[in-house]
Amino acid sequence: AGQLQAMQEQMVEAQEALGDKTGEISSGGGAVTVVMSGHQKLQSITIDPEVVDPEDVEMLQDLIIAAINEAVEASQNLAADEN
């Protein structure tokens, strides 16, 4: 039972360590930058004012989606590396 408890403690520590790690991903050549923690919590989104075009909101939405999806993937890789 002691070994199982030790493994559980290691898992908890690894999870906590993941929460401290963040990945910064940008799309559109830095037009949109998102920061996501190892727990896949979105921490910030930065949007370059130059890409905010009222005529083309769809492009901005696509850039945000691309950056977030990439950040989720990167945080999953962080989690995989921890294990």
pTM greater than 0.85: no
Residues 25-76 pLDDT 10s:
888 899 999 998 888 889 999 999 998 889 999 999 999 999 999 988 888 8
- Backbone φ and ψ of 46, nearest 5°: -115, 130
Half-sphere exposure of 45 (CA within 13 A, CB side): 16
| Neighbour count for residue 22 (Cβ, 10 Å) | 18
Confidence of residue 1 (pLDDT cuts 50, 70, 90): low
